[in-house]
Amino acid sequence: MYYVVMSSHDIRRNLATEQYILNQKDFDEAVILFYIQKPCVIVGRNQNVRAEVDLKYAEANNITITRRLSGGGAVYDDLGNLSFSFVVNAEHEAFGDFKRFTEPLITALHEMGAVGAEISGRNDLLIDGKKFSGNAMYTKNKKMYSHGTLMFDVKLDEVGRVLTVSEKKLASKGTKSVRSRVTNLKPFLSKEYQTLTTEEFRDQLLLRLFEVDTLEAIKDYEYLLTQKDEAAIDQLVADIYANDEWIFGEEPKFTIKREEKFKGGLMEANISVEKGRIAAITIYGDYFSQKDTKDLETLLVGCEYKSEAIEQRLKPILIDEYFNHVTKAEFIQLLVD
């Protein structure tokens, strides 16, 4: 088995590296990646981002949002989390067999004192009845990766805060995240491991997974990534993991129902969004208007579902003609939180 040193703390580059190794590199043994990143939320391939993440909170707190290739639910990571990925040839692997990859991690954790760590259900790892790891898989061209999280010393308050949907009436056809009780591993480890940094925790796991005494004895795969490879990984970040069309445009169709009370009256907007753009919109309320709001609704169809794009689309419009005593900023606030 090879190990790839992941020096980046950007989840988007780490996911791009994982994808690149899967798609572009051949290897005669399994490859394991460990990566640690700054605060971020990674949503599953089939999820509706707006149904899973408090976007306003994430933006205010510099929490990066991206989407992964694999399915499953949304997860929060920060520098107290250790993510892992096993990249393997898939010909002799069963898709969905998470136990195959998580058992060695469980064994290593037991050796470090977390004897209650166990595999539970389809893809979770628990200790003391609480979840510390979620896992997902992706396969392509007879290769596969199984990746997941290990909550070592994560800011637990942030997990519930950023993954708690703000108070909207929102119905989604996407996969809903399971709001399980979560915990960190650190308090369950033997005392000599409770003072480790996340990087030191990673190194201890590596020694046990490879059954060696020193890290130098582990075969490092990173030297096989050339400057050309690094440039291609940068391009994947730009094209996919940092691209709003991927992050938001891949979400399934959903409907938002928004309601606000303004000086001009109570307003309600029902918005259907497909591929990140407004597919249909209907506005209700007890406001007064000079012009038919149906014309405004027609104008907004096809607009990117972002406040900046809506503001640009409404630039030639005198909003007071449609909603008396409602400003353009308030109207945009109604549509996009």
> What is the C-alpha separation between 140 and 286, in angstroms, rounded?
53
Contact yes or no for 22/86 (Cβ under 8 A): no
pLDDT in tens, 40-77: 999 988 777 887 899 999 999 999 999 998 877 889 99
What DSSP string describes 33-71?
A: EEE--SSEEEE-TT--HHHH--HHHHHHTT-EEEE-SS-
Q: How confident is the model at residue 252 (pLDDT cuts 50, 70, 90)?
A: low
CATH architecture assigned to 254-335 = 2-Layer Sandwich (3.30)
pLDDT tops 60 at residue 165: no
Q: What pLDDT sits at residue 45?
A: 82
Query: What is the fold, at CATH topology level, of the domain defined by 2-247?
Result: BirA Bifunctional Protein; domain 2 (3.30.930)
Weakest mean pLDDT among 40-54, 78-92, 211-225: 211-225
pTM of the model: 0.76
Q: What pLDDT sits at residue 251?
A: 61
Q: What pLDDT sits at residue 172?
A: 41
pLDDT in tens, 121-140: 767 899 998 899 988 888 88
State which H helix or E strand residue 156 sits in.
helix 156-162
Domains 2-247 and 254-335 belong to one CATH topology = no
pLDDT in tens, 182-216: 899 999 999 999 999 999 999 999 999 999 999 88
How, if at all, do strands 2-5 and 31-35 pair?
Answer: parallel
Q: What pLDDT sits at residue 167?
A: 45
Task: Report domain extents, the chain.
Answer: 2-247, 254-335
